[in-house]
């Protein structure tokens, strides 16, 4: 599975390129079956992507009434907390576009983490029409687009180094926390992420350059670099990087 990597000169242009891919994926899904299921990412990098999706000329190119919004992970805080991925996406995107409230499926970060994870797997199974069993890889029964970021330690979503979450084989959603990040999180696992039609990593900044090189070109070890567990079985992975984050691709290990 070759990842295709797109490098843009600046973080702003990388966000623009990611927004165009979002619009393309949404258009394809809505044209073919009238709905688009997307899992949003958290952290700081997607803020500029959401701002572009919420603004013209890109905003009106998406039929927001037909979009189902999920999250790839959430910090275990209330929805109005500054650390909430839901709050960030709400402020940067959802409050600016017309997604019906019934289509916004947030992770209940305020609940007990394992209970919130179990409940969210139920929500995903409902949205994807798969009440039991493994994820299906057919249009309409899988996530159309999963947005992901990359931590400088090689984590993605809330799949952290040193934990077994990246090697989960059955559960779609688990509670997790990293050694460096003691806050509890709820995260989708590779079980459901790798069933998606399309996965888009948006990564920018020089602080990510070495980990980008290691994830894309280094030895494969999902326990050390959980982002390496993202390998769709019947889908595509795109990496949209700015030049600073791509600066060490093709270089020797330091």
* Residue 8 bridge partners (DSSP): 242
Stretch that binds ligand 6PG, among 125-133, 155-163, 164-172, 191-199 (CB under 6 A): 155-163
Give yes or no for residue 42 binding ligand 6PG (CB under 6 A). Answer: yes
151/161 with CB nearer ligand 6PG = 151
CA proximity to 114, closest of 6, 45, 186, 198: 186
Give yes or no for residue 157 binding ligand 6PG (CB under 6 A). Answer: yes
The gap between the terminal CA atoms of the chain, to the nearest Å, is 26
CA proximity to 158, closest of 196, 187, 138: 187
Give yes or no for residue 121 binding ligand 6PG (CB under 6 A). Answer: no
130/161 with CB nearer ligand 6PG = 161
Q: Site for ligand 6PG (CB under 6 A): which residue of 156, 165, 194, 228?
A: 156
Stretch that binds ligand 6PG, among 1-9, 131-139, 145-153, 162-170 (CB under 6 A): 145-153
- Distance between CA atoms of 211 and 218, rounded to whole angstroms? 9
Give, in order, the Cα–Cα distances in Å from 125 to each of 58, 131, 221, 230: 30, 5, 29, 20
Task: Find the shortest distance in angstroms from Cβ 245 to ligand 6PG.
Answer: 10
* Cβ 134 vs Cβ 204: under 8 Å: no
Q: What angle in degrees, to the nearest 10, is found between the helix axes of 46-54 and 11-33?
A: 60
Distance, C-alpha 160 to centroid of its chain: 14
The residue whose Cβ lies closest to ligand 6PG is: 149
Q: Site for ligand 6PG (CB under 6 A): which residue of 29, 41, 68, 121?
A: 41
Task: Find the shortest distance in angstroms from Cβ 64 to ligand 6PG.
Answer: 22
Q: Look at phi and psi of residue 34 and say left if phi exceeds 0, alpha if psi is from -120 to 50, else beta.
A: left
DSSP run (H or E) holding 173: strand 173-176
DSSP-assigned letters across all residues of 136-159: P-STTSS-SEEEE---TTS-BTTB
Stretch that binds ligand 6PG, among 39-47, 90-98, 133-141, 243-251 (CB under 6 A): 39-47
Stretch that binds ligand 6PG, among 43-51, 89-97, 103-111, 230-238 (CB under 6 A): 43-51
Stretch that binds ligand 6PG, among 17-25, 38-46, 211-219, 239-247 (CB under 6 A): 38-46
- Distance between CA atoms of 171 and 134, rounded to whole angstroms? 9
Task: Find the shortest distance in angstroms from Cβ 74 to ligand 6PG.
Answer: 7
Give yes or no for residue 165 binding ligand 6PG (CB under 6 A). Answer: no
Residues that bind ligand 6PG (CB under 6 A): 41-45, 72-73, 85, 149-151, 155-157
């Amino acid at each position: 599975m070759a990842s295709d990597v797109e490098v843009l000169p600046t973080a702003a242009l990388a966000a623009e390129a990611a927004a165009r891919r979002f619009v393309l994926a949404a258009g394809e899904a809505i044209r073919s079956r009238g709905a688009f299921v997307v899992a949003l990412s958290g952290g700081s990098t997607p803020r500029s992507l959401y701002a572009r999706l919420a603004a013209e000329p890109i905003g009106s190119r998406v039929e927001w009434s037909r979009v189902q919004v999920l999250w790839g992970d959430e910090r275990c805080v209330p929805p109005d907390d500054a650390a909430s991925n839901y709050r960030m996406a709400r402020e940067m995107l959802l409050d600016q576009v017309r997604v019906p409230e019934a289509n916004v499926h947030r992770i209940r970060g305020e609940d007990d983490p394992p209970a919130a994870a179990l409940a969210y797997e139920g929500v995903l199974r409902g949205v994807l029409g798969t009440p039991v069993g493994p994820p299906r890889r057919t249009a309409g029964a899988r996530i159309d687009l999963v947005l992901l970021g990359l931590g400088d330690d090689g984590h993605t979503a809330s799949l952290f180094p040193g934990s077994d979450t990246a090697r989960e084989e059955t559960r779609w959603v688990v509670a997790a926390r990293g050694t460096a990040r003691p806050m509890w999180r709820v995260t989708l696992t590779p079980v459901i992420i790798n069933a998606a039609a399309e996965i888009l990593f948006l990564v920018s900044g020089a602080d990510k350059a070495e980990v980008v090189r290691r994830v894309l070109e280094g030895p494969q070890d999902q326990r050390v670099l959980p982002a390496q567990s993202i390998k769709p079985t019947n889908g595509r992975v795109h990496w949209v990087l700015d030049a600073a984050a791509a600066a060490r691709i093709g270089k020797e290990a330091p």
